[in-house]
Amino acid sequence: MFSEPRLTGVAGVEMFFRFLQKVRFPARVAEFLKLDTREEERAEYKTSNLITMLVVMRLLGAIRLEQILRFANDPLILHRLGFSRLPDPTTALRFFGLFRRRHVEMLSRLNGYMVKRDLERQGIRKVTISIDSTPITVYGKQERAEKGYNPNAKGKRSYHPLLATLSTGHILYGCLRPGNTYSSTHAVEFLRQALSYLPASVKQITFRADSGFFSEDILRFLEARGIRYLIAAKWYGVLQEARAGLDRYHVDRKASLGYRFQKLKLKKWKRERRFMFLRLERKSHHSEDLLFNSPAYVYEVFVTNFSENLSAATLFRFYRKRAVIEKEIEEIKNDFGLKAILGRKFLPNEASFQLGILSYNLTLQFDQEILPRPPRSERRTLPTLRWFYFMEPARVIQAGRTTVLRLRRSSNLEQLWKIQERNIVRLAA
């Protein structure tokens, strides 16, 4: 019953392999990620092939290294990777153990390069950057895991990574940090690195962040680069100056909010900046920072350098899109293994984190540029992609020196593959 040879259950991943070849991903891995020569020479598997394998495994749901064994005898995957057998979990863990700080940075730069090339291909000229910190709970004595901000598992040790996401859907840059690191720690250096991965074709950048990044150092960094921002402010910084005017609001009944703009110079700041105070109906809005325990309203405050022609309602809608991003980040953490912990050592865990970001961005590009567009402009999750496009049975046949996939007969499937083939041919390398 189980002896039928040369069968694969993931024939749809063939198109993803072709996509990786078209964007020259294996060559880019070899170019950017250079492990110690002696270690590579002794290794059974080439680095570029191992990274490609690990990306494909995450695409197929094999987040933990032991889950790779599910595909150990898959003829399509073995053929595409050029392996006689897949590495066992111990070999894969040993590979991550080779990573030093410089190698993790190489992996991060590889991701930045792939995002930059994708933005160039799409001709993106304006983007919005959002930065978010998000806890990853650990359940052991992992190196550099500490107790810190972790609302879903209070008192547990964790990591506290920082992510820069784009309005295009990409994760531009990310870094894994100890759990007791404050949100804005080294945020300016983080932003500087993230911006370096944007192509020259991007001419307009806007920025939004929560109150964890309310810092004049960040504001000055953004202003020096002509970046428009909207950042939630901490009440302790503006409370004394604004207390007297909290009841004097203009009312936007359509948006169910009251608003007031005011320029203030806070203590120790170099100059004044424009603040937007909002009074929101409690039944309609959730607030991160509450000023008073009012039964009818909650109050929020933001600092911004956006044009004064933009209404308070427009600015608030722009900020509230962060809530969608936060939900998507949680999905990405689960689906692409950003919170997969390999062991006690920090650098292998950080390398796995970077690999998760890279896998996500490659899958996003494949979804946006190769797969047919959904009937509505909805975002497709990885489980959706896996179920509808990758999980497809086929027989892998060797015809002379050529390997052929024999798929089931279906006009819909044939049309789907033709669309993908056409889009891959059109894609610039």
CA of residue 176 relative to chain centroid, distance: 13
For Cα atoms 418, 376, 112, give the angle at the middle one, nearest 5 degrees: 75
Q: Using the predicted structure, report yes or no on whether residue 240 has a pLDDT greater than 70.
A: no
More confident residue, 157 or 379: 157
The whole-number pLDDT of residue 223 equals 98
The whole-number pLDDT of residue 291 equals 47
The whole-number pLDDT of residue 195 equals 97
> Residues near 377 by Cβ (< 8 Å), separated by ≥ 6?
none
H/E element holding 274?
A: strand 273-281
Count of CB atoms situated within 10 Å of the CB of 140: 9
* Least confident residue range of 55-59, 344-348, 375-379: 375-379
Query: Can you point out the beta strands (E) in 195-271?
Result: 204-209, 228-232, 250-252, 257-264
Q: How far is CA 166 from CA 53, 64, 361, in A?
A: 26, 27, 11
How much of the chain is helix, strand and coil, in % rounded to 5?
45, 20, 40
Average pLDDT, the chain: 88
- Rounded to 5 degrees, φ, ψ at 397 are -115, 140
Q: For 368-412, write each residue's pLDDT tens digit.
A: 999 998 766 667 899 999 999 999 999 999 877 788 888 888 878
- Assign domain 102-335 to its CATH architecture: Alpha-Beta Complex (3.90)
Residue 340: closest CA among 357, 362, 323: 357
Q: Is 122 left (phi over 0), alpha (psi -120 to 50) or beta?
A: alpha
* Pair 345, 141: CB distance under 8 Å: no
> Residues near 50 by Cβ (< 8 Å), separated by ≥ 6?
87, 92, 95
Q: How far is CA 335 from CA 63, 74, 176, 327, 352, in A?
A: 8, 22, 17, 12, 13
Q: For 13-48, write each residue's pLDDT tens digit.
A: 999 999 999 999 999 999 999 887 565 555 678 999
* Residue 58 binned pLDDT confidence (cut-offs 50, 70, 90): very high
The whole-number pLDDT of residue 250 equals 81
Contacts 24+ apart (CB under 8 A), 209-213: 209/130, 209/131, 209/132, 209/322, 210/132, 210/183, 210/288, 210/322, 211/288, 211/289, 212/133, 212/182, 212/183, 212/184, 213/131, 213/183, 213/184, 213/187
* Least confident residue range of 90-99, 106-115, 232-241: 232-241
Q: What is the mean predicted confidence (pLDDT) over 323-340?
A: 90
* Pair 257, 279: CB distance under 8 Å: yes
Q: For 162-187, write each residue's pLDDT tens digit.
A: 999 999 999 999 999 998 988 888 99
Give the span between the Cα atoms of 398 and 317, in whole angstroms.
56
* Residue 1 binned pLDDT confidence (cut-offs 50, 70, 90): very low
Task: List, by residue range, all CATH 3.90.350.10 domains of the chain.
Answer: 102-335
Q: Using the predicted structure, report yes or no on whether residue 247 has a pLDDT greater than 80.
A: no
More confident residue, 244 or 368: 368
The whole-number pLDDT of residue 402 equals 82
Q: Using the predicted structure, report yes or no on whether residue 290 has a pLDDT greater than 50.
A: no
* Least confident residue range of 67-81, 329-343, 397-411: 397-411
H/E element holding 30?
A: helix 25-32
